[in-house]
Structure 1
Amino acid sequence: MIRRNQHILSQLIAICDYVLFLFSFSAAWWIKFESGWFSSGGFLPLQTYFIWAMIYGALALVLGFFLNFYVPKRKKRFSFEVVKILQIHFFSLLILLSFLFIYKEIHISREFLAIFVSFSVMSQCVFRYSVKIATRELRKKGYNKQFVLILGAGSLGKRFSNNLEQYKELGYEVIGFLDDYSTDSEADGGSYKPIIGKLEDLEHVLGSELVDEVVIALPLTAHLKYGQIIATCEKMGVRTLIIPDFFDYLPARPYFDNFAGMPLINVRSIPLDDLGNRILKRGFDISFSLLAILITLPVMLLVAALVKLGSPGPVIFKQERVGFNRRNFFMYKFRTMKVMPETMSNTQWTVENDPRRTKVGEFLRRTSLDELPQFFNVLLGHMSVVGPRPERPYFVEQFKEEIPKYMVKHHIRPGITGLAQSKGLRGDTSISERVKEDIFYIENWTLLFDIKIILKTIINGFVNKNAY
């Protein structure tokens, strides 16, 4: 029922958004003019504010439809919707301000506009998140499904089918496979849908079965068949998706370039290659680091005193690490070990019950307080608040030969914390697993992802049993 009336559901969500604008207007009006928290300057009749607020709401809805905000997004992440919401409200506000200037409506309260827009953005984000969670739960229970036909019952097709089974919240169900060579869908011992025909039966199957999407999971040797397959799917009005046989070499979110009039797949597309994203992340890093330094300054002074009193030697320990674009830099930490030759500290792992640690150093490592000086590394541009953890040059030379894709982590600035660390992968844990998480972060970066990792790091606590 939901599936057949998807367009009605989208329209209903748009109506709910407009109701949220009414709520935001009421809240902004009360806070600005009724609560007594602000001066009443710029007061105009309620009707004037209401008219302009509703014009703003109408602009936001129109832009939403224009930017494909009110279309099904089951394959998209929530961060995609947040970015869309911010874009819509940014452009709506610009247009509204233009209208206010044209009609010389100069007495509208700027504080009211700021509160109204802020409430609109926040309420829409909360509502969209609630809708996303609700629809995911419905799909898990079998409602609002999309039906998929997979062309190719080899390892690639079966792997995709198995992945869909693990992500039931996406609401996809495989109705079966078409394959010219395989006849037994249980050949690998897995529980898969049946093979219901050969590739030549595609048009018949699409005409007799309810199919929303056809996924081509054929080997490269079958690429000559793609043209006829796509033509048949388009004839029957069914969307077509292709899983490239070489997808293991591609990033999580492949990016297509156009070069000399030909589409090219960018094998390593990184969101932070975009100048706007780099400026956004750098601005966040500087702001967050300054705030963190101000908040933790008393703690850092206390730690510095304890380190100085605990053992002879400098308070700050600096160690060479490999950073952005394989450039070396000195990373700062509170000293946690006895003073030793630099060659020893640069080539030895810290182990459990390491005799080189001081008593104060053991506590600092367990609580991650030794990492606080790295906020100064962030301000200097050596590091980011969130990113892959940097390693010493000696070990980088080893890991790049032993661990596939290890050097990809150096495409962005290293971080104080990262996705791997937020999941507890630090100290005596798998380097390969950490690299896997680092690459996922690099390929899927958003500012919201950074904030999520920081919050997860704080919520999970800084104490770690693997930190020696």
Structure 2
Amino acid sequence: MLKQNEKSFSNFQKLIDFIIILTSWFLAYQIRFKYLGGAQQGLEILFAKISIFLVILSIYFLNKNKLYNSQRFNSRLFEILSIFKANFASFLALVLTIYFLFPERLSRTHLLIYFLISTFLLTLNRIILRNFLRRLRQKGKNLRHILLVGNGKQIENYIEMARKYKDSGLNFIGWIDDEDQASKFSIKSINSTYSTALEELRPDVVVIGYSGEMSYKTEVFLKENYNDIVPIQVLSDMTYSFVGHQIEDFAGIPLITVNQPTFSSLDHFTKRIFDTVLCSIGIVIISPLLLIIAFAVKISSAGPIFYGQERIGLNGRKFKMWKFRSMRVAVNNEDKTTWSSKDDPRKTKVGSFIRKTSIDELPQLWNVIVGQMSLVGPRPERPVFVEKFRKEIPAYMLKHKMMPGITGWAQVNGWRGDTSLEKRIECDLYYIKNWSFWLDIKIIFLTFWKGFINKNAY
């Protein structure tokens, strides 16, 4: 019944979106060709044909962004961003198709008006729907009644997340084999048998979760109860998955990839385009400053202007990270094995200033343009220290799941230079697990807001 209701609701939502998209398209047509001057007339049939293609594109991208799945566990902001991403993707696909396949050139004003109206109406519809469902659930309707089984940490995480997201509508009606955890969450502890609990409580879903060492209990439970009508959901023990995971279906075999960031190829592409465009513009704007610093470095001491140091980047690949040289030319590989200190005698006079102000990092804009680094990401480290830290700090190597950055979440939170490595890794893993385009924007803003000068930068 639950699955059937969700399917019916999904189909209803597709119908509403269908109406919104067509309404937005023809409303934009009316505004552009009826109320704004200088417009060509007699294009109704052409626009009607294009509207069919537009609806198919829009429904496809909305579905691809999982907007017809249950949004119980997604925040309001996440859903709004997903709508924008899906609508922008369909709009872009439409523009490219029109450009290459249609001999006529459609009004750019009409297209822009459509995009603004459709994005607004699709978002408004979802907000109204969320508010409606929330009111229903506050009245005790449209709830999903859950019976819990097991005592793993993942059960606790599941309860906490369900209560964090108020729109989830999950109601925990009982907990079997809770090992005295039920009282902590004000959930009824069930001491009767599973079959008795099913008969008395009539749950919509049974959720089971045992920790790794108790996983045999999951197998025993499923072996005894797999034939029941009530759906059973299994919470996997993801204790050692620090930066996310992905679930794939291989010929009917479910595969869970642990410690795999969850962002898509589209996210990668967006981040890469943003990095390339911003850095290219940035280099042009600050080119006079770069020339001044280059001249100051050259006359301050003997040696090259730039200094390339081997670092470990994405997926453990080595690359040369560039800086303005701030120290005398290294001897006996000291630059590969020695960490800089506050009173490091190797620093030049100009070097002390550009290190303190982080100006020495500006050549890394080139590393970003050529695809070795990103504007935002975990800071890369030298190979000798990577080999050392991977044995000393848990989950250290997982930072290499993300393109290294010029600045990062650890740096804007004060963990740079001679500070706690554990805290830095904690920040790096948080960044990878929670990455979004908006988090990058926030970090860039904080980098400028807090300034480049830092007491730990030397």
In the superposition, the TM-score normalised over structure 2's length comes to: 0.74
- Flag the 1:107–1:155 CA change in 2: closer, same or farther, 3 A: closer
Match of 2:70 among 64, 69, 72: 72
Match of 2:293 among 296, 299, 303: 303
Residue 264 in 1 paired to residue 224 in 2?
A: no
What is the aligned partner in structure 2 of residue 248 from structure 1? 240
Decide whether the 8 Å contact of 1:153 with 1:195 is kept in 2. no
Q: What is the aligned length?
A: 442
Match of 1:226 among 214, 222, 226: 222
Residue 381 in 1 paired to residue 371 in 2?
A: yes
Decide whether the 8 Å contact of 1:24 with 1:119 is kept in 2. no
C-alpha distance in structure 2 between counterparts of 1:354 and 1:142, whole Å:
67
What is the aligned partner in structure 1 of residue 158 from structure 2? 160
| 1:435-454 alignment, distance < 5 Å | 435-442=425-432, 450-451=440-441, 453-454=443-444
Match of 1:406 among 396, 399, 402: 396
Decide whether the 8 Å contact of 1:161 with 1:174 is kept in 2. no
What is the aligned partner in structure 2 of residue 85 from structure 1? 87
C-alpha distance in structure 2 between counterparts of 1:287 and 1:141, whole Å:
47
In the superposition, the TM-score normalised over structure 1's length comes to: 0.73
| 1:90-169 alignment, distance < 5 Å | 90=92, 106-107=103-104, 109-112=106-109, 114-116=111-113, 118-119=115-116, 123=120, 127=124, 146-165=144-163, 167-169=164-166
What is the aligned partner in structure 1 of residue 281 from structure 2? 291
C-alpha distance in structure 2 between counterparts of 1:173 and 1:382, whole Å:
45
C-alpha distance in structure 1 between counterparts of 2:303 and 2:392, whole Å:
36
SS at match of 1:331: strand
Shift of 1:376: 1.1
Shift of 1:300: 1.9
Q: How much identity, in percent, do the aligned residues show?
A: 30
Decide whether the 8 Å contact of 1:142 with 1:171 is kept in 2. no
SS at match of 1:330: strand
Decide whether the 8 Å contact of 1:256 with 1:265 is kept in 2. yes
Match of 1:203 among 187, 192, 198: 198
C-alpha distance in structure 1 between counterparts of 2:356 and 2:25, whole Å:
46
Mind listing any 5+ residue stretches in structure 2 that lack a counterpart? none
Once the two structures are overlaid, the 10-residue window that deviates more, 147-156 or 9-18, is 9-18
Mind listing any 5+ residue stretches in structure 1 that lack a counterpart? none
